[in-house]
A and B are shown apart, each in its own frame.
Chain A
Amino acid sequence: MSATATTQYSSYRNKVARSRATSEPVWIRYLLTTIALTFLTLFLFVPLAAVFTEALRKGFDTYITALVDPDALSAIKLTFIAALIAVPLNLVFGVAAAWAITKFEFKGKSILITLIDLPFAVSPVIAGLIYVLIFGIQGWFGSALVDNDIKVIFAIPGIVLATIFVTFPFVARELIPLMQAQGKDEEEAGLVLGASGWQILWRITLPNVKWGLLYGVILTNARAMGEFGAVSVVSGHIRGMTNTLPLHVEILYNEYNYAAAFAVASLLALLALVTLALKTFIEWQVARNAIQHESA
């Protein structure tokens, strides 16, 4: 008994000694903490608080009125439609791309990886402009679309296309490193045990990356609902028709309707908070799983 107590004590003492040996002087620690907290307050907490204060400045009734305004409701609906189409499509694309890149060898793989990152590299305005140049009236397919009475630009399809473009790297980017780290062994084991490619995908690959996948989907969703630049170019800003939430905020603000602008903005801020909460939950889940595995 006493032997164990001694070892425990000495290991505790070692820990203290080590932490002293590797830590900075007190004033540096305080200085760094202060700088970090000041930045966080100035650039994150204050704006966030400002959004909600401004939104509720003229009372709760004005706030609600701004949100149930038909144009606002239409913007909310359009934002959800865009996200509802873009997120599942990018989920499928992201899984397919990550699966292809990490589990197979083929020519042009590095080009594919670079292309996936393109939406991150290019300005969203350019992304929107590309679609105007392709599908606009003066664009490549312009006359063909007009002949068939199909509207892409300044209509919902254009908004969905732009949203898909700006959000397509998230899922793939989240999955590729994860699947690379996990290797091909489990898939090969499944293959030898007689599983088909489809069974391997559903029973082995996807369950192994489920948290990373969910994380990617949440980021995709946050960006899809919050995207301004690309959508702004293709939307045409028709009130109640082609305005998404971020565009609606801009219009209200430009009309000096601050209370309503901030009210709608607060919805986007809430979305961000929910996203962060989900993200934290997933990270906590992953860490918990890792600890469970470690303790073995």
Chain B
Amino acid sequence: MSIEIRNIKKNFGQFSALNDVSLDVPSGELVALLGPSGCGKTTLLRIIAGLETPDSGNILFHGNDATERQVQEREVGFVFQHYALFRHMTVFENVAFGLRVRPKHTRPSDAEIKRRVHELLELVQLDWLADRYPPQLSGGQRQRIALARALAVEPKVLLLDEPFGALDAKVRKELRRWLRRLHDELHITSIFVTHDQEEALEVADRVVVINRGKIEQIGTPQEVYDHPVSPFVYQFLGNVNQFDSHIHQGSAQVAGVDLKLDAHEDTQNTPALAFVRPHDIEIYNTQKTDRIGFEAIVRYVNAVGPLVKVELERNDHTELIEAELTQERFRELKLTPAQHVHVYPRNVRVFAA
């Protein structure tokens, strides 16, 4: 089922949680709402579920207005950050709950409920825990039960609020791959909220970057990572070096480097911000005559892991620049602290401030 979000606004007192948010989620897609805490992403998810009411705007399910529809009638599955499993019920009863509370004429028989619950528990690979109580399970197990419970009512939409937020790093990684596989199997329209850019980029078909109640960018993980449309998105998705700059008649000065900017031909002397990813900082021991760069001193080297992290200090500026290079390149350059090097940034993005 497709979801359309039209001009949603929501204020909590003076605080504007969502400011005119519109978004289309096509049927069967897995979408991540990504943003820092307090950006409004959870509020948006809860509005879609019907747990919050928007001040204005509409929610459309499959083209039909569902803004005024009761939570119970929305046919959504919701997975809470802290699982929200019913603590006094067994795992089996938790998953069966959505079926048991149905009115008599639509309620499946006990045998049918039993069959469906065990089917779902098998799907989340926890059939052997059916008789346990939620507090006896690990965090990862609880979250999978919560997912099975949400799926039991055969929702048209699956909404997940920071589903892996309360888990430790390893379980988190495992579970998000598992969620991706599950989605590929079930093809249920899913929206999940996260503040973890790695999670969003790895799992989602599309990423919606939200900041201060507004959507900054919508795109595939590749698009938003490679072509951020705003300084916020650039900074939020991965590490980045930021330079103060200014644009004048189609060129910008970034760290002493002149950049041609086709889009800003007519701009006169405007302050700007320039961004370069650490892996786009090239380091050489000798000067390249065909390129313009700047000189710097190596301040700090961390060679743990596949990428070597190097902190550089420009000769004319105290600002530190972060660079990442492969172990191979690092060995070629033989970098040590206090060494003088030549630095050439590439793929510089400039935003008029």
Contact = CB atoms under 8 A, between A and B. Distances in A.
B40 to A, nearest CB: 18
Contact of B135 (A185, A189, A292): A292
A193 B84 CA distance: 12
A193 B98 contact: yes
Contacts of B87: 186, 208, 293
A5 interface: no
A219 to B, nearest CB: 23
Q: Identify the interface centre among B74, B88, B137: most chain A CB within 10 Å of its CB.
A: B88
A188 B45 CA distance: 13
Contact of A188 (B74, B80, B101, B135): B80
B84 A185 contact: yes
A148 interface: no
Nearest to A197: B72
B86 A194 contact: no
A196 interface: yes
Interface in A44-80: none
B182 to A, nearest CB: 19
B101 A195 contact: yes
A194 B101 contact: yes
Interface in A253-296: 292-296
A175 to B, nearest CB: 16
A33 B117 CA distance: 56
B104 to A, nearest CB: 13
A208 B84 contact: no
Contact of B97 (A193, A196, A294): A193
A199 B103 CA distance: 11
B113 to A, nearest CB: 13
Contacts of A196: 72, 101
| 3 nearest A-B pairs in the assembled complex, by CB-CB distance | A293-B135, A185-B84, A193-B98
B71 A191 contact: yes
B82 A195 contact: no
Nearest to B78: A192
Q: What size tier do the contact residues of chain A reach?
A: 20 to 34
B136 A189 contact: no
A204 to B, nearest CB: 6
Interface in B27-78: 49-51, 71-72, 74, 76-78
A207 interface: yes
A204 B86 contact: yes
A203 interface: yes
A240 interface: no
A192 B101 contact: no
Nearest to B72: A194
B101 A199 contact: yes
A190 interface: yes
A2 to B, nearest CB: 31
Interface in A175-222: 185-186, 188-196, 199, 203-204, 207-208
A99 B87 CA distance: 18
Interface string A156-192: 0000000000000000000000000000011011111
B172 to A, nearest CB: 20
A194 B76 contact: no
A193 B153 contact: yes
B149 interface: yes
Contact of B49 (A192, A292, A296): A192
8 contacts: A186-B84, A186-B85, A188-B51, A189-B149, A191-B71, A192-B74, A192-B78, A203-B86
Contacts of B98: 193-195
A208 B88 contact: yes
Interface string B124-166: 0000000001011100000000000110110000000000000
B60 to A, nearest CB: 19
B101 A185 contact: no
A182 B305 CA distance: 43
Contact of A192 (B77, B82, B135): B77
Contacts of B76: 192
Given A186-B86, A186-B87, A204-B86, A191 B72 contact: yes
A229 to B, nearest CB: 39
B288 to A, nearest CB: 59
Contacts of B135: 292-294, 296
A185 B97 contact: no
Contact of B86 (A189, A191, A292, A294): A189
